[in-house]
Amino acid sequence: MAGTTPTQRNRRRVSPVDVPFKPHQNYPRLNANAGKDELVTPAPKSRRQPRKPVLSKKDNPLRPTIKLDSSAFDASPTLTSRPRMTTRRRNQESAIRFNPARLVSFAAIILLVGLGYWLLNAPNFNVQKVELTGNRLLTADAVVQATGVDKTNVFSLNEDQVAAKIKTLPYILQAKVTKTLPDKITVAVTERQSVLNWKVGGYCYLVDPDGVVLDSYIDQDLPESAKAYPVIESLDDRKMQMGDRVDSIAVRSAQAIQSQLAAADIKVAALQYSPTSGLLIISDPASGNWKALLGTDAQLDQKVAILKGLLADKGIKWSYADLRFINKPAIQ
């Protein structure tokens, strides 16, 4: 209400009570204005509501109870809650929920696993036939020996891995493998072709453009097809076998040099190879007695032009020319 003080409001809510005055012993000044009839207002009551007593489950009137029928010898709940499921009813519902499709799927999985195991282990599917195409030197026995496919199941056979093993053979350039059920593989190969006769002493080694030795012959047993190859007489007298390699740059250079000399009508008897200096031309006796060191086929056109000039100039007497460096040719 307006116009009232807090003290007045408190006095209206709490009725005064006469309390006997007791003077303060330690602080006498507090007793100066104290009167015997002074009213003391007690502290206001707390507005907090007292806590209600907690009822136990046994004393709780709201807790539902179950009434049993003694005549039925069994618990008969009177509540609306769901009763406990009996064992018989649980078995009945499990039988109702059974799905035959699950059994069929499980049986199909077992069947597939068994079939796969049989296919991967049955000896009928091991590779027994090897068919070759494009081969000249390669044989089926060489394929089996290099790859071991005769012990491999055709389903587990890795075609790329088998082809990689076949390519390790020295005379194979490319290989492709295709498997065919039930026990066959087809191997299509591109074999290396010899293009040059690398001669060391009395042995002739037929090599391909990469310098891979493909075959070896004694000089008098050289096939007729190989007699037309360019010949390099190597000063390196080491013996070689199939699969070894010679200087591929020298092989490439020898073919180019012979072609250029034939076009310039310069006849040579042989090409000699030294691991340190390269290729050396030895002239045919009909065209004189001279030697020209060319090294490799680098700047071959200029080297051949210088050689033609030396042969055409009758005023220059020479028997050896070093033409490896065209800016500073040396003759003697």
The pLDDT tens digits of the residues spanning 4-29 come to: 555 555 454 544 455 555 666 666 66
- Helix, strand, or coil (residue 60): coil
Mean pLDDT of 83-94: 59
pLDDT of residue 87: 64
From residue 14, give the alpha-carbon distance in Å to each of 3, 6, 7, 45, 331: 19, 12, 10, 9, 141
Find out whether 200 and 235 touch, Cβ atoms under 8 Å.
no
What domains can be seen in the chain, in order of their start residue?
123-191 (3.10.20.310), 196-331 (3.40.50)
pLDDT of residue 125: 77
147 closest CA partner among 123, 129, 167, 133: 167
Find out whether 167 and 220 touch, Cβ atoms under 8 Å.
no
* Structure-model confidence comparison of residues 113 and 51, the more confident one: 113
Indicate whether 38 pLDDT > 50: no
Q: Where are the alpha helices (DSSP H) in the chain?
A: 6-13, 87-97, 100-121, 140-147, 159-167, 248-263, 300-312
Q: At what angle do helices 248-263 and 300-312 cross, to 10 degrees?
A: 40
Whether this prediction's pTM lies above 0.85 is answered by no
Indicate whether 295 pLDDT > 60: yes
Mean pLDDT of 45-62: 60
Instruction: Share the mean pLDDT of the chain.
Output: 78
